[in-house]
């Protein structure tokens, strides 16, 4: 199977600071990536996605960067808020696998007030 890994299992940031969560993937054929947020007691929620023909995509307070050369994905959260505390997963989808995604183990983000 595919390997989707996260560099750090936990991350603590001060409220108001920017957060960066990293993800490595191993298959250069992956063409679609998604970041999910999972709060305690809830299922994963879609945050932002990016296709392999893009390097950067911005949402509201979030930015995803894709570096295909080193197979690296990152999620940047601006002005981190207490409500951002959650586990963040990256997921990759491979070409020709329909809609099947492979998930990383997750990074737990804690925002310190």
Residue ranges binding other proteins (CB under 8 A): 4, 9, 32, 34, 36, 41-46, 49, 89, 91, 93, 98-106
User: Please, what is the minimum distance in Å from the beta carbon of residue 15 to other proteins?
Assistant: 26
Residue 16 or 95 having the CB closest to other proteins: 95
Where would I find the H helices in the chain? none
Q: 30-38 and 62-67: which strand pairing?
A: unpaired
Task: Compute the least distance from the CB of residue 11 to other proteins, in Å.
Answer: 15
Distances (CA, A) of 20 to 10, 12, 23, 70, 108: 11, 10, 10, 17, 12
Give 54 or 79: the residue with its C-beta nearer to other proteins: 54
Q: What tokens does 31 get? A: 């063409």
């Amino acid at each position: 199977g595919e390997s989707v890994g996260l560099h750090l299992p936990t991350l603590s940031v001060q409220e108001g600071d920017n957060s960066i969560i990293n993800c490595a993937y191993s298959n250069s054929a992956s063409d679609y990536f998604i970041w999910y947020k999972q709060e305690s007691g809830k299922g994963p929620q879609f945050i932002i996605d990016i296709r392999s023909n893009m390097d950067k995509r911005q949402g509201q307070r979030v930015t995803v960067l894709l570096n295909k050369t080193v197979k690296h994905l990152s999620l940047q959260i601006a002005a981190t808020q207490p409500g951002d505390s959650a586990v963040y997963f990256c997921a990759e989808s491979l070409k020709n696998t329909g809609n099947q995604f492979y998930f990383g183990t997750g990074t737990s983000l804690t925002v310190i007030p």
